[in-house]
């Protein structure tokens, strides 16, 4: 077979949800136009409602059963934790991969077990994008050998914690200094703060698990970005990682990096050279 006869790589995408993160990914893909990538469907609660900035030609669907027959390669969840349970099984049966942005859903061990079983049966894969962390390849590699500890501090301006349980623990409107209002496991953090601490599950899955990964949540009036401070130690040595992410303009609880990591995941799936 000559090079010209080989089939080109393609990636037919379906997004679950078209909120701040998904629409930002759509915007970036439209600008960058990676070869072979097409958003062919968007799943929403009400397919009859008019929505702005939808990808040209994308079909609106509202039930998991509609995934059948769409010839989807990758389903990308960007609609919040409940959507993982609603769409996960159908996504794994009707697509080659299911990318889960709301990793806090995996604190539910029974649901995770079900999805893993379906993926094994269907020959599909569950992907967990690196989200606001950009890339945790170093931590994942380090976990090949025993890890002693992993700690993840999530530091955000007070406005990013509004509308969460943080408001019950600290007066977000009068803070004058950095204040830690939660310390516990990644499982506890993600369960209690699914929008803000969702990313802690990604750290846990890359390292020593949901119950051994320690998470500290912080409101700091002196920061303007969403900050992640990760430290780990073990047989590999010692790791310290700090990221300062710009918040999404349309949602201060999420980082721009969350959308960028999905763009990288998509483009890497069709790229000839992946670094």
Q: Contact 82/45 with Cβ under 8 angstroms?
A: no
> What are the helix (H) ranges across the chain?
20-32, 81-94, 109-122, 137-142, 158-161, 166-169, 186-192, 198-206, 256-270
The response to whether 132 counts as a known ligand-binding position is yes
Q: Contact 15/43 with Cβ under 8 angstroms?
A: yes
The response to whether 198 counts as a known ligand-binding position is yes
CA distances from 31 to 26, 55, 63 (A): 9, 12, 29
Integer Cα distance of 94 and 87 in angstroms: 11
Task: Count CB atoms within 10 A of the CB of residue 268.
Answer: 12
SS3 content of the chain, % helix, strand, coil (to 5): 35, 25, 35
Query: Is there a catalytic annotation at residue 228?
Result: yes
Q: Contact 17/83 with Cβ under 8 angstroms?
A: yes
Pick the catalytic residue: 94, 152, 222, 228? 228
For the chain, give the longest Cα–Cα distance. Answer: 69
Sign of the Cα torsion 175, 177, 183, 188 reads positive
- Output the known binding site: 132, 198
User: What are the binding residues for NAD(+)?
Assistant: 132, 198
Residues recognised as catalytic: 228
């Amino acid at each position: 077979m000559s090079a010209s006869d080989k089939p080109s790589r393609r990636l037919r995408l379906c997004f679950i949800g078209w909120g701040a993160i998904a629409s930002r990914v759509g915007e970036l893909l439209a600008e960058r136009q990676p070869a072979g990538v097409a958003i062919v469907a968007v799943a929403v609660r009400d397919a009859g409602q008019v929505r702005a900035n939808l990808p040209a030609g994308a079909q609106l669907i509202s039930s998991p059963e509609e995934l059948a027959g769409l010839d989807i390669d990758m389903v990308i969840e960007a609609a919040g934790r409940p959507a993982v349970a609603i769409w996960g099984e159908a996504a794994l049966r009707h697509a080659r991969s299911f990318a889960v942005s709301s990793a806090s859903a995996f604190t539910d061990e029974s649901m995770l077990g079900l999805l893993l079983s379906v993926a094994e049966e269907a020959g599909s894969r569950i992907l967990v994008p690196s989200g606001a962390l950009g890339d945790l390849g170093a931590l994942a590699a380090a976990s090949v050998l025993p890890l002693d500890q992993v700690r993840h501090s999530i530091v955000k301006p007070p406005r990013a914690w509004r509308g969460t349980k943080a408001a019950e623990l600290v007066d977000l409107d009068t803070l004058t200094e950095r204040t830690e209002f939660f310390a516990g496991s990644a499982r506890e953090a993600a369960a209690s703060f699914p929008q803000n601490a969702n990313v802690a599950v990604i750290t846990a899955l890359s390292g020593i698990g949901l119950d051994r990964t320690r998470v500290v949540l912080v409101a700091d009036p002196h920061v303007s970005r969403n900050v992640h401070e990760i430290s780990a130690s073990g047989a590999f040595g010692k790791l310290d990682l700090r990221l300062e992410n710009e918040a999404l303009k349309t949602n201060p609880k999420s980082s721009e990096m969350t959308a960028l990591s999905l763009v990288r995941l998509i483009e890497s799936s069709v790229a000839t050279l992946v670094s």
